[in-house]
Structure 1
Amino acid sequence: MDLTFAWLLHKQELALRELVAPSTKHFSLAQTNELEDATEFIQPESLVLTVGIAFKNHPADLGRYIDHLADAGAVAVGFGTGLTFDAVPEQVLDAARRRGIGVFEVPRRIPFISIVTAIHQEQRRRTQVEQQQLIDAQEHLTRSAIPGSLDMLASAAAELLDASVRITGPGAAPVAVAESAGYSAAVERGERMRSSTQRLVSGPQRPYSLQIRSHRRPPAALVRHCAGLADMLLARPAELRTARNELNAFALSARFGLGDSTALLPRGFDTPIDDSGLTRPVVITADRPRALSQARSALDRAAEAHGHFLYATALDPVSMVVLVHPEHSGADLLDSLGPAAQRVRVAVGRPVPAAELAEPHIRALKARCAVLALGGNALPGSSRASWLTEPAVAEALVAQRRELFGVLEAEDAARNTDYARTLSVFLQHGGQLAHTADALGVHRHTVRSRMARIQKLCGIDLSDPATFAEAFFAATAEV
């Protein structure tokens, strides 16, 4: 990356003094050299640093030395004084003026390494800035393409590149066109324009191209990124458009009350419903939103691997309902969860008519999850705790929950504590202080002090197994 000599002179800590102005404003690197003839080692557009030690006994040859540097492509010399020569020799100055090479005096107190380091640091800083600017520009282009509009992509590209951007189709017909204000002004000033064309890989039957015209050289990486985004929008798979069209049709049908209002999902779409209209509901709960999100991602990956979509919706931040095909067993679903199964609770329901699936089915499955430990599951046919969903039992548990948690919720509201949630998590983890602390993200001593306060407020002793069980089942009740 090129730097300017003006920047170098403004680095006051380097204390450089310009004796002969260089014929060019820029240089690309700095290198040291103390050989009499280092032509083969000199890099083009370089600033050569030397103290002239090789010419201590014959300074008259310094003019020839400067000629060698100029022939090799050097654009300036940084001559160190106070070591070999007290001042920059006239032979150096005369030859430099004749060859158009700049000469800068470097005081003895300034080591050459400090100059080289300053240049490297500045080049690295500017490279990082350019890279970040490119990343930001690519992200901006990507965001403009997300809605699927070529016009928005072209407009964003025109502003970023300060250019005219055209996406053309068969017969060079314009598909999207945009121009920046800077480009229009440059055209009026009669500035020279640069043009580039990128063919879009849309297939032989879709001869599209991206044409960019600007008075500046656009970053090649940004042009390629823009072309890739345009190509993806043009070559969008037909099945995605079909799916989007069906969703649109379903949304309109639901809005205007058209079609079968009892249908849970649009038929004709890839739904988890068999020919008899049955679907299988599953409720998954967790202690933390992140664990639930990981479970959802695992199910989505498994569905994608089998060419299906995922049908899931959140019930609250730590629970969701999933619909799967009736033939999809509970064991299949647990396999799909993989390691994420250890961080959630899963209740798999029996196949039910999709038209009859309602909130009570989901509530019953959620209640079954509530009595499970993390990593536990309740599969169809399991009789574990099925009595919890009996109306009389459920009503009694709701009353007990209100009595027990009502005191804590009032305390939480009045004093901004977290007693109700602490008790719920404590019960779910079998009264284990360490596990409860991990789930809440607090210290074990904090949990111990909270539980002591909770038992005092509620007038209960959770060390008694019967009291603990009563509180546990009350905590699972759906109010």
Structure 2
Amino acid sequence: MAPTLRRVVALARLRLRVRAGHDALERPVRWVAVSELEDPTPFLEGDELVLTTGMRLAPDDAPAYVSRLVGRGAAGLGFGVGLGHESVPPEFVAAAADAGLPLVEVPRETPFISIGKAVSDMLAAERYEELGDAFAAQGRLTRAALRAGGMAGVVRRLAREIHGWAVLFDETGGVLHAAGEGADKAATLVRGELHRLRAPDGAPASLALSGPHEHVIVQPLGDQRRVTGFFAVGAQRPFSPVGHTVVNTAGSLLALSLEQRRDRLAAVRRVRSAVLRLLLAGEREAARETLAALPGGPDETAFMDGGPFVVLACEAGDAEELQDALPGFTAPWGGVVIALAPVEQAGPVAEAAARRGRVGVSEPVESSGPSGLAAGLEQAQRALLSARPVMRFADLAGQGLLSLVEPNLLSGFAASLLAPLREYGSRADLVESLRAYLACNGHWDAAAQRLGVHRHTLRYRMRRVAELLGRDLDDPAVRAELWMALAVRPPAPR
């Protein structure tokens, strides 16, 4: 943080005297600029203490000169006396007082370079102190990361370091840890912005928001290949360079912790797959002991404690996310996620899984042996092939064949298969003739009577259909495919 003008004028060796703007001495001084120009503002950035002897300034220039300095954001004006002016012209004192600009009188015995050196030394000391604070804060954050519950400790420590709040999210936007006043409310607001940071192509982006009373930074954690989480911090004051350093240090520590967490969870998932293999092999007690050794494992053995249970095969767009979202026992298995749940919990588990993809549900399975589990596993996987969001194996037979096929795929199949008939000149009656022929199971007289045509006409049409499609209409498999295609495409209006 830059020294204030009050600290500069307090240096006894400079013998500076405040002539105006006593109430504005808390302004930061980021540099000292010496200029004898009538308008030095093109060479200023703001927060400078401007020094001049006024040798090219007349008393009437005072209001305009001071106004330009104020407009440029100068910290103050130092007026050197003993050269161009024996004392500070009263017009400059009055103009500075009216504008609220601090004006200090610089005696002849104080070289301007002495003031510049003094401010430079103070800036260097401030910078050294800031670096020391940053190193100390980094040490405290690192120690917090090394203790038990490292991620939560880093979040709490970070909130204290920035005198604000901090929130750590997982890759889905779920809150892992939060600390600091207002963190819960902030987490809800920030979660709605996280989608803006997920870049489908290229590196994920950061987000900075500033308001009158709060300044927020949101950063993704991970790399270009995979975002492992997000963290957000907020404080009432803008973040200084040291603050940014502290935030970046915390981000690095949290990213490392999330990666370690991800590795641990991956290992846990592999163990769950091994537990499922043990159950299929009939090693029930070995499976129970293995699962009980995992974090949360004892709560996942409920399906083993007598009574029937249900097997669910869940479509896994993101297997890790899906497994974390489902209660009870879960395990990756052949490209899907398998969940085992007591019968009374099957409904909530299926509902939770259906929010992320299709679900196949087996019939209740007795927990006494591996054969029941194997049968349930096969039933759940077969039910998953349905196009329905949630399909129970017991309901497959009553749904009809068409309900088990994805509608868009079936529609495309029908359009492609029947296209030669639709494109055959103006003979749109070929499609309806084929429909009647199949509906009457290939009986010429019945089909011709339904269409109101002679059976020889129908025979001619069916020969054209077979030629256009390149299919044998006497083949039962061909008839089944054509009937499915016609079932998707409704009859033409009469």
TM-score exceeds 0.5: no
Report the structure number with the largest CA radius of gyration.
Answer: 2
TM-score (norm 1): 0.44
TM-score (norm 2): 0.42
